[in-house]
């Protein structure tokens, strides 16, 4: 008997059922208009803005790291880059606050130049960046691992030093992989709660003054307004996340398809 | 010349610095390059995937020169293009295999390296012997040594020195007493 197919569908049901039920209840029997209030929409807006910023920071800060780790097979660096993903996220939040605390020399130096993480958009984005960076690095490293190295070797043999190989050959050939890793890291950042609740429970800066991230807002609604409101707000957040997921699938499928040219003179 | 698995590609990758040497040394034009990083050896490798897919043909052809900070000699560029039949433009990654290989061979030549190592590329070109003879003529005029691997006896005949490689060991089959 071919059990693989029913087993696969069973696995998918395990993953999808709770979310599907929540969406159904949130927009159906348990709908509560407080769950789609302006406050909830602003929280979702903050989460998407912060996650997108964190994703772009991942691209700028960690693309070279992913490439270096891939090519040098440097497992020490790979392990170090994975640390934020392997510790409880509230600890990441506490460590960020400590880094920026007047109790430490580094914190005093940062504060003296106006870098403040506590309840700021900078702190919010910093937490999301650090939490999502390991996902970005891992995804992009896998992409670089799977790349054919002939073009790089050709450039090297022409005299290109490693940094020129990276900028001239690897990055222009890797837009698909970078966008894929970026979208994966944005999805991860969107779901972050633990570190954000410590570093920036509220963002106390314009244009998000007094706004919480979506995950914090939903947690708060669950505690203070009851499950019906939380379920509706959660369903709304899932709706926006599904749009991102769908967009990322479409981008992966259509925007970065490899071009194959057959025939032509040789 | 050598059959599949005889060690042709391993030899080329070792000479180019992509593989580490367990013992012995690699000497190019009297200079020991064994300890040099691949990008400092002045040895260009051309194989079936040796192209920079996102570059335009003209940018690709002068990439090696650009890396050295040298300007393009238009006359030389046109001579190489006409000798190798490069009369097309566009992104290199979108060209056919044969067109890509011609661009890669031309890029290697124009970068004026100490040596060019060509790994079973000519046999993928239309009229491979003619292309090989044109390449030999240009590289000879510019004093660039070319080492190419092949499984074709006809292509082997073009070489000044012909070696047979079996299980990683080489034996000289023919020599025209010219630099190889």
Tally of structural domains, chain B: 1
Contact, B93 vs B7, CB < 8 A? no
Asked if the structure places residue B3 within a domain, the reply is no
Q: Which value does ipTM take for this structure?
A: 0.90
Tell me the per-residue pLDDT of A152-204, one tens digit each, with 9 for 90 and over. 999 999 999 999 999 999 999 898 889 989 999 999 999 999 999 999 999 98
Judge: B49–A161 Cβ closer than 8 Å, yes or no: no
Asked if the structure places residue B89 within a domain, the reply is yes
Percentage, residues of chain A above pLDDT 90:
76
CA-CA distance, A111 to B166, in Å (whole number)?
68
Contact, A155 vs A162, CB < 8 A? no
> Residue B98: which of A153, A158, A266 has the nearest Cβ?
A266
Q: Inform me whether the pLDDT recorded for B175 exceeds 90.
A: no
List the Cα angle A68/A72/A75 in 5-degree steps. 95
Which of B112, B66, B114, B105 is closest to B86 using CA atoms?
B105
Asked if the structure places residue B20 within a domain, the reply is yes
Residue to mutate among A73, A154, A167, A176, with most B CBs inside 10 A, is A154
CA-CA distance, A127 to A54, in Å (whole number)?
9
Regions of chain A where pLDDT drops below 50: 258-266
Task: Tell whether A257 lies on the interface with B, counting CB pairs under 8 A.
Answer: no
pLDDT for B4: 87
CA-CA distance, A52 to B1, in Å (whole number)?
55
Task: Tell whether A105 lies on the interface with B, counting CB pairs under 8 A.
Answer: no
Q: Which domain holds residue B48?
A: 8-175
CATH number at residue B35: 3.40.50.300
pLDDT for A24: 95
> Residue B52: which of A154, A162, A265 has the nearest Cβ?
A154
* Check whether domain A49-214 has CATH 1.10.3720.10, yes or no: yes
Burial annotation B141-155 (CB, 10 A radius, 16+ → b, else e): eeebbbbbbbeeeeb
A40 vs B177: which has the higher pLDDT = A40
Q: Inform me whether the pLDDT recorded for B74 exceeds 60.
A: yes
pLDDT for A259: 42
Q: Is A261 helix (H, G, I), strand (E, B) or coil?
A: coil
CA-CA distance, A68 to A152, in Å (whole number)?
13
pTM above 0.90, yes or no: no
Mean pLDDT value across chain B: 90
pLDDT for A85: 86
Asked if the structure places residue B1 within a domain, the reply is no
Asked if the structure places residue B2 within a domain, the reply is no
Contact, B38 vs B16, CB < 8 A? yes
């Amino acid at each position: 008997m071919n059990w693989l197919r029913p087993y696969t569908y069973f696995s998918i049901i395990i993953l999808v059922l709770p979310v599907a039920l929540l969406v159904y209840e949130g927009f159906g029997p348990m709908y509560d208009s407080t769950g789609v209030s302006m406050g909830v929409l602003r929280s979702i807006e903050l989460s998407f803005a912060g996650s997108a910023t964190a994703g772009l920071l991942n691209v700028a800060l960690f693309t070279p790291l992913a490439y270096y780790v891939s090519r040098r097979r440097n497992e020490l660096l790979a392990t170090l880059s994975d640390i934020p993903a392997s510790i409880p996220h509230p600890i990441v939040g506490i460590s960020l606050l400590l880094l920026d605390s007047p109790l430490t020399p580094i914190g005093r130096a940062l504060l003296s130049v106006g870098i403040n993480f506590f309840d700021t958009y900078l702190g919010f984005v910093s937490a999301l960046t650090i939490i999502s960076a390991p996902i970005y690095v891992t995804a992009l490293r896998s992409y670089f691992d799977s790349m054919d190295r002939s073009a790089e070797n050709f450039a090297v043999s022409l005299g290109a030093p490693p940094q020129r190989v990276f900028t001239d050959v690897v990055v222009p050939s890797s837009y698909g992989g970078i966008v894929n890793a970026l979208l994966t890291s944005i999805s991860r950042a969107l779901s972050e709660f633990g570190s954000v609740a410590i570093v920036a429970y509220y963002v106390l800066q314009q244009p998000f003054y007094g706004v919480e991230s979506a995950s914090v807002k939903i947690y708060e609604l669950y505690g203070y307004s009851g499950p019906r409101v939380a379920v509706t707000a959660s369903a709304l957040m899932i709706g926006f996340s599904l749009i991102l997921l769908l967009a990322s699938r479409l981008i992966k499928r259509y925007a970065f398809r490899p071009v194959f040219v057959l025939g032509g003179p040789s | 010349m050598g059959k599949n698995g005889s060690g042709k590609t391993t030899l080329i990758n070792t000479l180019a610095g992509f593989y580490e040497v367990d013992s012995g040394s690699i000497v190019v034009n009297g200079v020991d390059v064994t300890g040099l990083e691949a990008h400092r050896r002045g040895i260009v490798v051309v194989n079936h995937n040796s192209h920079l897919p996102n570059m335009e043909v003209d940018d690709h052809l002068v990439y090696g020169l650009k890396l050295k900070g040298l300007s393009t000699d238009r006359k030389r560029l046109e001579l190489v293009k006409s000798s190798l039949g490069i009369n097309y433009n566009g992104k290199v990654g979108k060209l056919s295999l044969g067109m890509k290989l011609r661009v890669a061979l031309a890029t290697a030549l124009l970068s004026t390296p100490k040596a060019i190592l060509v790994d079973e590329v000519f046999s993928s070109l239309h009229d491979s012997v003619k292309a090989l003879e044109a390449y030999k003529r240009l590289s000879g005029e510019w004093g660039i040594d070319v080492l190419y691997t092949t499984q074709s006896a006809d292509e082997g005949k073009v070489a000044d020195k012909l070696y047979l490689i079996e299980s990683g060991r080489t034996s000289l089959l023919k020599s025209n007493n010219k630099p190889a």
